[in-house]
Amino acid sequence: MLMALWPAWAQETIGFVKTVTGKAAVTDAGKLIDAQVGTPIKMGNILKTGPQATMGVTFKDNTVMSFGPDTEITVDEYLYAPGKGDLKFSTSMAKGSMQVVSGVIAKLKPQAVTVKTQGGLIGCRGTRFLVKVEP
Amino acid sequence: MIRHLKAYFIFCVVLLAAMGCAPKSYVVLMENADGTVGQLAVTNAEGDVLLNKPRTGVDLDGKAGKPYTVDENRIQRDFGEAIAAQPPLPVSFMLYYEAGGTVLTDESKALIPAIIEAARHHPAPDVSVIGHTDTLGDSEANEKLGIERAQAAAEIIRSAGLQVIDWTIASHGERNLLIPTPDEMAEPKNRRVEITVR
């Protein structure tokens, strides 16, 4: 049953690429897609910018993320069903620079928005913040 | 020999200086666009560090570090490009309706150009339209009225010829009141559609 539900759930769009300069990519289920304005983002996707590239993404809960050059982020989990109380937004950042403007998930459920890095886990309680990771 | 030692010494000094200002991993709390400030909690094996003042940061090096002030130069150097890549922030509008149908109040009609203008300034806009009703009438009829209001509002934006990349159109009926009221009560502020342009 769970297996049967997996594909539909895995493919749900949770956000869209809104800005791109230079060469940026979205990896969806192992497939590398050139990021363009309008490229959909799904849970599990890996977002990458090239050495001279930037990218900005807006998610369904109004979270806005933007990445500087040579950045890699994975969207580990995204749950946005306020009616059911399902709220979670966790990402892992391997390298690069990022700005996050938190959205409805952080407003409704403090600590539900996290960024995992090698040197610590960042929990966000409704704010804008910047993260730099040098691996 | 002395010359070699001197060269070695200089090499060491340069190396140490480079290590000292080596780029490192860190996080900075920033003020929101409206001036408010939230909080960040950074957790690692050594414990928690709380940031609650804007433009303070802490290293992400696995140690329980002390927060420090991050100046504008450093923010621009390390994050200037990420900040410049920020898409326009989502904007929300509330449209209000005359009782029992999909006729907008005059004030709300006047808001339409601003909504269309906002969508024009958002790259690949995705738009959500949520319809609401007051508690007058039965809840099932209000679910239906909510979706009719949402669809009518979406149609107004659609007819402006905008290239909206994705629509979310839904009804909360009388389940999500802006002004809490008992059942069977007319309340103009509850007869609304909330439009968010992302």
The verdict on a CB contact (< 8 Å) between A66 and B86 is yes
Q: What are the pLDDT digits (tens) for A53-75?
A: 999 999 999 999 999 999 999 99
B55-58 long-range contacts (CB < 8 A, ≥24 apart) are B55/B28, B55/B29, B55/B30, B55/B31, B56/B28, B56/B29, B57/A130, B57/B26, B57/B27, B57/B28, B57/B29, B58/B26, B58/B27
Is the pLDDT at B33 greater than 70? The verdict is yes
Q: How many residues does chain B have?
A: 198
Binding-face residues of B in 133-162 toward A, CB within 8 A:
none
Write the residue in B31, B60, B90 that is nearest to A117 by C-beta.
Answer: B60
Average pLDDT, chain A: 92
Q: β-strand B166-173 against B126-132: which pairing, if any? A: parallel
Q: What are the pLDDT digits (tens) for B125-157?
A: 999 999 999 999 999 999 999 999 999 999 988
DSSP secondary structure letter of residue B165: S
Q: How many percent of chain B have pLDDT more than 90?
A: 75
Band of pLDDT at residue B17, cut at 50, 70 and 90: very low
Binding-face residues of A in 80-119 toward B, CB within 8 A:
97-99, 101-103, 106, 111, 115, 117-119
- Domain B91-197 -> CATH class: alpha beta
Rounded-to-integer distance, Cα B69 and Cα B53, Å = 9
Q: How many percent of chain A have pLDDT more than 90?
A: 81
Rounded-to-integer distance, Cα A129 and Cα A99, Å = 6
Is the pLDDT at A8 greater than 50? The verdict is no
Rounded-to-integer distance, Cα B172 and Cα B177, Å = 9
Kindly provide the b/e burial profile for residues B148-174, where b requires at least 16 CB atoms within 10 angstroms of the residue's own CB. Answer: bbbbbbbebbeeeebebbbeebebbbb
User: Hey, where are the domains in chain B?
Assistant: 23-84, 91-197
Q: What are the pLDDT digits (tens) for B70-114?
A: 999 999 999 999 999 999 999 999 999 999 889 999 999 999 999
Residue B140: is it exposed, middle or buried by C-beta count within 10 angstroms (0-12/13-18/19+)? Answer: exposed
Is the pLDDT at B6 greater than 70? The verdict is no
Domain that holds residue A79: 2-133
Rounded-to-integer distance, Cα A69 and Cα A51, Å = 5
Please provide the DSSP assignment of A112-132 as one string.
Answer: -EEEEETTEEEEEES-EEEEE
* Greater model confidence, A96 or A127: A96
pLDDT for B7: 59
ipTM of the complex: 0.92
Residue B193 touches chain A, beta carbons under 8 Å: no
Within its chain, how far is the Cα of B60 from the centroid?
Answer: 25
- Phi, psi for A124 (deg, rounded to 5): -110, 125
| Alpha helices for A11-134 (secondary structure H) | 104-108
Band of pLDDT at residue B8, cut at 50, 70 and 90: low
The number of folded domains in chain A is 1
Binding-face residues of B in 102-121 toward A, CB within 8 A:
none
pLDDT for A126: 87
Q: Which of A91-95, B42-46, B49-53 has the lowest mean pLDDT?
A: B42-46
Is the pLDDT at A30 greater than 80? The verdict is yes
Contacts of A107 (CB under 8 A, 6+ apart): A126
Residue A56 touches chain B, beta carbons under 8 Å: yes
pLDDT for B15: 46
Average pLDDT, chain B: 88
**Contact pairs from chain A to chain B, CB under 8 Å:** 166
pLDDT for B46: 87
Binding-face residues of B in 19-38 toward A, CB within 8 A:
22-33, 37-38
Which range scores top for mean pLDDT: A56-70, A98-112, B36-50?
A: A56-70
Distance in Å, alpha carbon of A119 to nearest chain B alpha carbon: 4
Rounded-to-integer distance, Cα A81 and Cα B92, Å = 19
